[in-house]
Structure 1
């Protein structure tokens, strides 16, 4: 294996990281008559002012120190309920408004079970960066209560000496949310918004729609350059509802508003799709695995519609005999497209390798590493799912590849890989 520089930093699951999330009570009800939301609001409105004050004091004693701007969050949530139920809020005092908001919120430990499968991209704001340094955004798959996956973010800087400096996590995290119908779970495309006062490192995107209800899994972020030169940050991920999956795309230009868009076409029923960072020729292109074993090159005229592709790579070496897949979007080099891959070998041991594809015709494989760059071993073996190393996206920084990777579906580690050394292995 290649002699990599593995950074000492390691990120782990943390049950103390909690957010206040909207509690969509009515989504759980199929009854007739007044909705559960309407009944709950009426219970609070019928309270004596002194009782409402006492109940609010109990809530604030329990939760105000654990969350950021708790009263404002409750008031914001009340405003959403008022708009949905068309309440006349003129005679409702602040204490009852806050209490109603509290009933429609809940606390959620979003990374209690696992933190894994990161991807990294260039940050949209590079202001103030010294020469040779790069500000980055990482997405992380956070797994919490009910083994439901969400998307967390972490900002950081890579220095000219390949030092990784992560921005400190704020003491409080906030959930991005959509403003919609309180009585029905959304379906189809939705837009979620980061709270106006929250940092990106303190923002979590949770499942919103029915198709996503059991998880947003393995976001593969890429900075995409359109034909007109404009840039957009796109990420493919797997939406899981507990029984079926579908591939969806996250789209954002500012990491404040995020469009979550279901993709269409035969290939979108599969997991692990990775988008090229620009069109190649006249087509958008993806790397995907359509049969659970091999890698395919998929072309499309529409960025959210993907039909079946052409076979690109099959398992060739012992460390990938069981299956191969991508480890994120291809990275453009002068020499071609560098595609990091994962392979599964004996005893379901995961390894990470690389392939070089022709820059003008990515269906042509120029080179391939015979041995893995990185494999599950020693400290990278133990965890929730042992013997797994897995990445959803690396990035180029000067003459190295910055590779964040998940370890045993339990934690996140970081490596710096010299590009020349990777190409020399092919």
Structure 2
């Protein structure tokens, strides 16, 4: 029986999806020597008439590619020039040119586009009966294998119809600002790192229950000088600042489309990318509805599981996760509390699917194993393909397996609704494999998803193909459940 029905509609990487980033020659290398001073001097030496001509060309060529381009150039000029200008003053045109000299365009999808997850869109207006608009997160990979989280939208239904909606330009990275921390959350993250020494304990005692980076500085200033100067005091201080500043929120303007938004690295621990967001529409016990997502932050050396929380997909709060289960890639949140607890799937050992619990959604307990690699098409590793989907017969969990030649395939589990540690059934054969035309890509032989949705009796699953493009397939939910074998 054919369970999955791939459709021809597809999203391809778009090289025109660019953002403007600060660029300081020499500083793009970790131990490079900045050429900032020499570059500033050359810009200052240009004749004013030539400066004005250059700025006219820049505004003509790039203003339409970046929202707020004029102000962005002024901001970049302010970041680089005071260090070498002193009291010197520049005309507006020369300031804009200075900013442009220290700016470059970054193609978000220049290398790859993959790993989508789908949730119902906050805006369901303008649809025909039987249709559902979806918000789909995408992993965009650009130069240097730097990942960001982009978005697109699609409409499912009526029946087996699916349409990816156009992705408008320009892309907008949003505005970031510091976020609040809870003291016990910070304590748990420090415990994960084995760093609750005397100084850390003293600071934790001094912090209010909810605090900001400014409150941390007050607590550090009030710490005893002998603790600050003690061996290990400086590393602990740096770690505290590093962790607290890693929490932030990003806000997007109300007048842009979701498809224009991109979540680009903000904190140091995600400086090399935000990977594999798994979004879920989360309903609280009080009936409140919002969005949550786990993603993997990468700093070039270590990974860190992180959490996004949003009420409207316009403002996102980003935080570090903690606890024994939050130590690897691939966490996926349940869409509601079960037994009064937050639940999540995880792969803390790197190769098996497990379940973990949390009282607050931030600190996760020791996981319970659900599935280990066993079948021929999953002998290397197994993991989830997004958040569990609630059905009348149990929690439907889409899984991925990796077999010989690192070939990926998508399978499924069924978990008990009341006790999701009980595996009721599983697919013995993959639900979805790469078709012959889908084998090639940035990473060959991969089909992979970070989450699907059920609408009108159909499972809709957007999936990455070869880490190079996004396709979609649907399946009849009852047929899929009937095909599972008792576990």
Q: TM-score range by the shorter chain?
A: 0.7 to 0.9
Distance across 2 between alignment mates of 1:216 and 1:48: 43
Post-superposition offset of 1:410: 1.5
1:153-173 Cα offsets, whole Å, 9 max, x none, are 001211212322222122422
Partner residue of 1:122?
Answer: 120
Partner residue of 2:51?
Answer: 52
Distance across 2 between alignment mates of 1:393 and 1:10: 16
Post-superposition offset of 1:211: 0.8
1:259-298 Cα offsets, whole Å, 9 max, x none, are 2211112222210000000110111000011112211110
SS state at 1:162 partner: coil
Which of 395, 401, 416 does residue 358 from structure 1 map onto? 416
| Structure-to-structure mapping, 1:18-97, within 5 angstroms | 18-23=18-23, 49-64=48-63, 67-69=65-67, 72-76=68-72, 78=74, 94-97=92-95
Post-superposition offset of 1:206: 1.2
Partner residue of 1:221?
Answer: 279
**Does the 8 A contact of 1:82 with 1:88 survive in 2?**
no
Give structure 1 regions of 4+ aligned residues with deviation exceeding 4 angstroms: 22-31, 35-49, 79-89, 91-94
1:17 equivalent in alignment to 2:17: yes
Distance across 2 between alignment mates of 1:302 and 1:23: 39
Post-superposition offset of 1:209: 1.4
Distance across 2 between alignment mates of 1:104 and 1:193: 25
1:133-178 Cα offsets, whole Å, 9 max, x none, are 1111001111111111111100121121232222212242222342
**Does the 8 A contact of 1:394 with 1:403 survive in 2?**
yes
Partner residue of 1:190?
Answer: 248
Distance across 2 between alignment mates of 1:280 and 1:408: 35
SS state at 1:16 partner: coil
Change (3 A) 1:41 1:332: farther
Q: Which blocks of at least 5 consecutive residues in structure 1 are unaligned?
A: none
Which of 154, 165, 169 does residue 152 from structure 2 map onto? 154
1:384-424 Cα offsets, whole Å, 9 max, x none, are 22111110000111101100111112211100111011111
**Does the 8 A contact of 1:2 with 1:421 survive in 2?**
no
Partner residue of 1:131?
Answer: 129
1:415 equivalent in alignment to 2:473: yes
Partner residue of 1:203?
Answer: 261
TM score, norm. by length of structure 1: 0.88
SS state at 1:55 partner: helix
User: Bigger shift: 262-271 or 241-250?
Assistant: 262-271
**Does the 8 A contact of 1:22 with 1:77 survive in 2?**
no
Determine which structure has more spread, i.e. the larger CA radius of gyration: 2
**Does the 8 A contact of 2:62 with 2:69 survive in 1?**
no
| Structure-to-structure mapping, 1:336-355, within 5 angstroms | 336-355=394-413
The RMSD of aligned alpha carbons is: 3.1
SS state at 1:7 partner: strand
Partner residue of 2:223?
Answer: none
1:278 equivalent in alignment to 2:336: yes
Partner residue of 1:294?
Answer: 352
1:311 equivalent in alignment to 2:369: yes
Larger helix proportion of the pair: 2
Change (3 A) 1:257 1:49: farther
Distance across 1 between alignment mates of 2:26 and 2:316: 24
Post-superposition offset of 1:249: 1.0
Distance across 1 between alignment mates of 2:323 and 2:377: 32
Partner residue of 2:234?
Answer: none
Distance across 1 between alignment mates of 2:407 and 2:373: 14
